[in-house]
A = this chain, B = another copy of it.
Amino acid sequence: MVPHLVTALSGPINELEQRILESMPAIERWFRLEWMEHTPPFYSAVDIRNAGFKLAPVDTDLFPGGWNNLTSQMMPLAVQAAMAAIEKICPEAKNLLVVPDNEIRNTSYLSNLAQLKRIFHMAGLNVRLGSISPSIKTAKRIKLPDGDEITLEPVIRGKRRLGLKDFDPCTILLNTELPAGIPGILEELHEQFLLPPLHATRAIRRKRRHFECYEEVAKRLGKLLGIDPWLIHPMFGHCGEVDTASADGIECVRANVDALLTRVRRKYKEYGIKEKPFVVVKTDNGAPGLGAVTVRDPRDLDAIVKSGKAGARSLPTGEVIIQEGVLTHEHINEAVAEPVVYMVDRYVVGGFYRVHAERGIDEDLSAPGASFVPLAFEESGRLPQPGVKPGASAPNRFYMYGVIGRLAMLAASYELEATDPSAENDA
């Protein structure tokens, strides 16, 4: 199934597409040189918003949980990239242990695990799923709706290694952000590769740091392309601890919202954009459910705080990031959609649309009720078609998404280097 692409095709995005296509060899070379100096995350998924006048990543997931949404046509690419990834890390590996979330959210997540297992099995590894949940005491077989079956097994922790009964992996692949914090069972595993590293999990990772790194690489790519980096970068501000009971906490958010809206308004004026600017307030550590709140006016903050509503629409507490809101002008049928780009190592391997029929074009789509539609991958897939009129070719649009996805992945690699506790401090 190929979605009907109905991006609002206003001017600037087509110029950007044109510029990106023309610069393809230069862009690819730039990435090649970056990957000589920096290590890409093992895998990643980037949410992208295409506003028609700008295109920007709004979230970079280092523990992607939607592998089941890739179509079978995308699988050979994923397997080939997985082969390249393994070869770099542990070529002599026989076994890979995948550690899933303790809390199994839904059968879709289980299908994701089955697909992940399939990809790495085809890349040449024996793959098993090792749960660190205290509730998994014996092997648990689970049938999936599509007829697949997976088995969750309890991990066994030795003095220096983690494994299963009769299964000693070279690499342990986390498919969980470890929302409850880093458990002792995953610490001090110095003999094995634990990927992504623990400092990529929610206990340590901060969105703000990611977007600082993204701003840096977006500026450099912008320079290469000769464009205003704002066209590919969402501006942002940051507050420390926000306590909704404290006036100081709210004041910091309000000041940041106000300042950011002013900056966005200026940019909209510069580009003659008639849309209403908005910002999104999110928790800095990426805890979901606490919600990303859309704010169009600083005065709305009082109402949001006063309403005291719990759950998804109340103001998040803890550290918050205030990010420039990027509209999504992509629709599939009547529903608002945003592309999600999936990557293994430094390669784009596929993607899909996240679609939410009940959300607006300025709202977070990563919420209950979202569904997924494969990206158009017919014919030359993610490969650009030089010479086609900008805005008229799905593969060209997807090539552009792949560039922005990889740019966010590159930012993540800078971010993980900066936060690596085992790194030597050169300063």
Contact = CB atoms under 8 A, between A and B. Distances in A.
Nearest to A84: B84
B77 A383 contact: no
Contacts of A29: 92-94, 124-125
Interface string A69-111: 0001101110111011011000111100000000000000000
A121 interface: yes
Interface in A17-47: 24-29, 31-33, 35-36
Copies of the protein in its oligomer: 2
Contact of A77 (B76, B91, B121): B76
Nearest to A382: B76
B28 A123 contact: yes
A171 to B, nearest CB: 13
Secondary structure at chain A's binding surface: helix, strand, loop or mixed? helix
A153 B93 CA distance: 47
A193 B83 CA distance: 26
Contact of A381 (B24, B73, B380, B382): B73
Given A29-B92, A76-B380, A122-B384, 11 more contacts: A25-B125, A28-B83, A28-B124, A32-B124, A33-B91, A35-B91, A36-B91, A75-B380, A75-B383, A77-B80, A80-B80
Contacts of A380: 72, 75-76
Interface residues of A, number: 41
A86 B91 CA distance: 20
A24 B92 contact: no
5 contacts: A25-B125, A29-B94, A72-B379, A80-B80, A122-B384
A87 B83 CA distance: 15
Nearest to A28: B124
A63 interface: no
A123 B346 CA distance: 13
Nearest to A29: B124
- Which 9 pairs across A and B sit closest by C-beta, in order of nearness? A28-B124, A76-B381, A32-B91, A72-B380, A72-B379, A25-B124, A25-B126, A29-B124, A75-B380
Contacts of A379: 72-73
A81 B83 contact: no
A35 B87 CA distance: 9
A385 B332 CA distance: 32
Contacts of A94: 25-26, 29
A216 to B, nearest CB: 21
A236 interface: no
A342 interface: no
A347 interface: yes
Contacts of A86: 32
A124 B24 contact: yes
A29 B33 CA distance: 28
A248 to B, nearest CB: 50
Interface string A101-143: 0000000000000000000011111100000000000000000
Nearest to A126: B25
A6 to B, nearest CB: 24
Interface string A225-254: 000000000000000000000000000000
Contacts of A84: 84
Contacts of A32: 83, 86-87, 91-92, 124
Most chain B beta-carbon contacts within 10 A, residue among A26, A86, A347, A380: A380
Contacts of A72: 379-380
A75 B126 contact: no
A358 to B, nearest CB: 34
A413 B379 CA distance: 33
A355 to B, nearest CB: 24
A43 to B, nearest CB: 15
A87 B29 CA distance: 9
Contacts of A75: 380-381, 383
Contacts of A347: 80, 83
